[in-house]
Amino acid sequence: MSQPTERTYLLIPHDEEGHSIKSKEAAELGQTSIGERLTYNDYSTIDWLHCLVKDSYRFRALHLRHGLRASIDQTVDACSGWIAVSLIGMIMAFVAVGIDMSVATVAGLKYGYCSGNPFVSREACCEFVHSAEGHCDRFRLWSDKYWAQFGIYVGWAVLFGIISSSVTMFSKTALPAVGPEARTNGHDPSNGNGYGQGKALYMSAGSGIPEIKTILSGFVIPHYLDFKILVLKAIGAVFAVATGMSLGKEGPFIHIAACVGQQVANRFEKYRDNAGKWREILSAACAAGLSSAFGAPIGGVLFAYEEICVHFPRKVLWRTFLCSMVAAITLKALNPHGTGKVILFETNYGTSYRPEHYFTFVMLGIAGGLWGGTFTMANLKWARWFRNTRLIKGRPVLEVFCVIMVTAALQFPNPVTRAPGVEIIKNLLVNCATNKDNWVCRNEARTDGRWDYFAWLAYGTLGQLASTTITFGLKVPAGIIIPALVGGALFGRLVGQFVTTISPGIFAMVGAGAFLAGVGRMTISLCVIMFELTGELEYSIPHMIAILVAKWTADAISKESVYDLAQSVLGHPFLDTEHALQLIQHEPSSIVQSILPPPSTMAELTIEVPNNNKVSRKVLETHLAYLHRRGLMDGGVVLTQKGVLQGYIAEPELEYGLNTLGKGLNDDQDIRLLGDAEEDEYDLSNFVDRTPITITNTAPMEYAVEIFGKLGIRYLCVTEEGSGRLVGFVIKKRLLIYLDGLKHE
């Protein structure tokens, strides 16, 4: 196994362009006695169906008891989910306010300091004290000279970026991998179980949304939601946003909320001991993250449903709704913006659109879709080129330094883009009929042609889109939501200069939603988020038009959203049943037989159990070694008698039964796998799944996709049509590898 690198692919092998390939040697390996090796070794899979059964047994045991204590325990158990999500909502709101206030204070240092209290933000410093000219006297600029201001601005931005990236470096970790190669590459096995180190991952970098989607789909990324990562992500996000780079804190807020969700869920035994139930709480936490970032509680719920979660039953929907609501209530009570409202970009245009404006809304949607469709490809090409240059390769902090220098040089000269992202959006969405004291409105009130103002808007649009393209993917906490909104608002305000019948702020608002729809491919959730961000319910139809057109346009260019691309590039396993079925439809005849392991693999992973239903420890140890050698962390061994399937025992249970419970047994000791145990027998039959889900080898591949996707199972046993004889079994990862091969054909 190769040394871990940040570019390690966990899908089937890739070429330098990122396309999946299968070498001749790899193909031949599957036909040898050595057999094939599955990828995705860094991720183990949960079984939603087993989690459901496990919780049902727990529920029955709890409700079989009688008496006062039993009634109290049952009531607490019934309320535990609601209590947990309420706590998550409140805690996340406090964390969000702390990060927001810290960002405002740190970002203000790029311009000057508050003479009364240098530890408060510019807004807080100037809240009540202004001069007659409308300027704040308490906030002192570092210098009155342009070039001195420029140098200080860039210097602080570079310092903040280095701090953020350096903090992110502390979150670098190697995920576990199975196999002797991990032990022979200089890595120490963990816990003595033969697991070594696999893919390197910067856990606090990026938005975290691709990783959260992977976790919620049923895969495990160890330690990704630990308290340490929460702290590193929060600190890194403060300094990253303060740099002024084209990134936002909204994506990181979802990761931070998931970390909060884990800390709270682990305090409840009901969720701590059940991976499926634990993910239900995590789904609610994600909604609280967006609710706290934007003050958009309903949008947060819909975002979790549309973009983040795979398993979302009605009970989870209700708890997610409560969690998001509590976060919004707490945010309103804390009043971080000083307005007493949760609306971030409140507007009141006082005019309505007319049918002739529909064409402009469609054009904004097309523009947003064109950028969203090309952004993913441009960002990927930039990353492959720039991060492979001799100077930058292996130096993520230096990459951040270079990008900040470029971003600051592009932003500072432009009065429109010099402010933080949230403030830029506020300025661009303003209605100049009611607010004259604004740089945008003062320029739009001019009667001298305003071509320099048009140039600033055009320059700001191009600069924002370019800087976003080179920023996304840096090793700092960073989201794409605010940068996309800023780019769309700039373009929309520019377009609004040529449509004088209504406020240009309306086009800025619709353009912001269109550009975010193009890059993120969100629809309903984004539409609701825009309502809640602006308070403008009247403009639902313009938003719907622009968002749908943007999605259609972007999909015509590239099927992958920015989050799908990140999952693919980072090698995170994720089963999207909708996209999977579209891929299979293009195959002339795709049946389950296509994804069966080769005969050499199945020979090593099948145990023919004698009539006495017992095998020796040595036999089981041998098959466990086969699993480790092939890297099948979430694989297992099938049990047959005369070729007929009798059961399945997973690798974790087999290893636990042999190396923990049966540590003192000798190699010749017989171990019962099937039937009823007798006295003094060592029995592992309780670990055997006697009712595995089965499918015939000639069944359409769509059956396998739906079974894995809808039931959330970990493995699927395959029998021969007609005879019922076992011919193999398939784990979820094998299906994903097959689908990835179709994607890149």
Across the range 304-326, mean pLDDT stands at 90
Q: Is residue 345 in a domain?
A: no
Q: Is residue 187 in a domain?
A: yes
Residues 391 and 260 in one domain: no
Collapsing DSSP to helix, strand or coil, 584 comes out as: helix
Express each pLDDT in 270-290 by its tens digit. Answer: 998 888 899 999 999 999 999
Q: Is residue 425 in a domain?
A: no
Higher-confidence position of 743 and 598: 598
Candidates 450, 478, 574, 620; CA nearest to 43 is 574
Q: Is residue 340 in a domain?
A: no
Residues 521 and 567 in one domain: yes
Residues 547 and 692 in one domain: no
Collapsing DSSP to helix, strand or coil, 722 comes out as: coil
Say whether pLDDT at 295 is over 50: yes
- Residue 197: predicted pLDDT: 57
Q: Is residue 606 in a domain?
A: yes
Express each pLDDT in 426-457 by its tens digit. Answer: 889 988 887 777 888 888 888 887 899 999 99
CATH number at residue 512: 1.10.3080.10
Residues 665 and 698 in one domain: yes
Express each pLDDT in 9-34 by its tens digit. Answer: 223 333 444 343 333 433 443 343 33
Residues 540 and 400 in one domain: yes
Q: How many domains does the chain have?
A: 3
- Residue 190: predicted pLDDT: 37
Is residue 347 within 8 A of residue 493, CB to CB? The reply is no
CATH number at residue 587: 3.10.580.10
Higher-confidence position of 120 and 164: 164
Say whether pLDDT at 590 is over 90: no
Residues 221 and 364 in one domain: no
DSSP 659: I
- Residue 135: predicted pLDDT: 60
Centroid of chain to Cα 572: 10
Catalogue the long-range contacts made by 15-23 (C-beta closer than 8 Å, 24 or more residues apart): 16/384, 17/384, 18/380, 18/384, 18/569, 19/744, 20/740, 20/741, 20/743, 20/744, 22/741
* Domain end marker among 543, 571, 599: 571
Say whether pLDDT at 509 is over 70: yes
* Domain end marker among 334, 367, 390: 334
* Domain end marker among 523, 551, 571: 571
- Give the rounded percent of residues in the chain with a pLDDT score beyond 70: 89
Residue 362: C-alpha distances to residues 51, 359, 484 (Å): 46, 5, 18
Residues 130 and 209 in one domain: yes
Candidates 372, 301, 303; CA nearest to 517 is 372
Centroid of chain to Cα 674: 42
**Residue length of the chain:** 745
Of 113-122, 392-401, 483-492, 621-630, where does the model show the most confidence? 483-492
- String of DSSP letters for 399-453: HHHHHHHHHHHHHTT-TTTSS-HHHHHHHHS--TTT--SSHHHHHHT--S--HHH
Candidates 690, 708, 688; CA nearest to 699 is 708
Q: Which two tokens stand for residue 195?
A: 């697991």
Residues 594 and 529 in one domain: no
Residue 504: C-alpha distances to residues 106, 306, 319, 423 (Å): 32, 30, 39, 17
Catalogue the long-range contacts made by 490-493 (C-beta closer than 8 Å, 24 or more residues apart): 490/416, 490/417, 490/424, 490/428, 490/457, 490/460, 490/461, 490/464, 491/364, 491/367, 491/461, 491/515, 492/364, 492/428, 493/428, 493/440, 493/457
- Residue 643: predicted pLDDT: 87
Q: Is residue 42 in a domain?
A: no
Residues 560 and 583 in one domain: no
How far is it, in rounded angstroms, from Cα 37 to Cα 593?
18
* Largest Cα span, the chain: 99
Q: Which two tokens stand for residue 113?
A: 């300091």
Q: What are phi and psi of 339, to 5 degrees?
A: -105, -15
Residues 545 and 659 in one domain: no
Residues 565 and 589 in one domain: no
Reported as a pLDDT band with limits 50, 70 and 90, residue 40 is low
Q: Is residue 290 in a domain?
A: yes
Higher-confidence position of 736 and 362: 362
Q: Is residue 346 in a domain?
A: no
Of 198-207, 508-517, 659-668, where does the model show the most confidence? 508-517
Residues 225 and 326 in one domain: yes
Express each pLDDT in 404-425 by its tens digit. Answer: 998 888 888 888 888 888 889 9
Express each pLDDT in 90-116 by its tens digit. Answer: 999 999 999 998 998 898 888 888 887
Domain hosting 81: range is 48-334
Q: Residue 278: how many CB atoms within 10 A of its CB? A: 20
Reported as a pLDDT band with limits 50, 70 and 90, residue 146 is confident
Candidates 382, 403, 385; CA nearest to 393 is 385
Collapsing DSSP to helix, strand or coil, 114 comes out as: strand
